[in-house]
Amino acid sequence: MRAQHQLHAMFRQLMIEASEAGAVRDDVAPHELAAYCIHALAAAGSLTSAAAVRRLFNVTLAGLGPPT
């Protein structure tokens, strides 16, 4: 449980810094973006091919992008 909290805190800080730099969307709170990343990328463990993992990673990155 402690490791999960540390991972979430690390991702949250990353999202704060990325948002301040304009690299990720700013219409969603950093703690929500952190949770989105962690849960989306955790799904990679159940995928059966490297191609599927790459697609999931690309979809996750696209979801983080600033709104256009």
Q: Residue 37's CB: how many other CB atoms inside 10 A? A: 21
pTM score: 0.82
Furthest C-alpha separation in the chain: 36
Of residues 41 and 54, more confidence is placed in 54
- What is the distance between the alpha carbons of residues 54 and 56, in angstroms, rounded to a whole number? 5
Beta-carbon contacts of residue 9 (< 8 Å; ≥ 6 apart): none
Q: Of the candidates 5, 49, 54, 51, which has an alpha carbon nearest to the alpha carbon of residue 31? A: 5
Query: pLDDT-derived band of residue 63, with 50, 70 and 90 as boundaries?
Result: very high
Return the domain boundaries, the chain.
Answer: 2-64
- Residue 30 contacts residue 16 (beta carbons within 8 Å): yes
Please report the pLDDT score of residue 41 as a whole number.
85
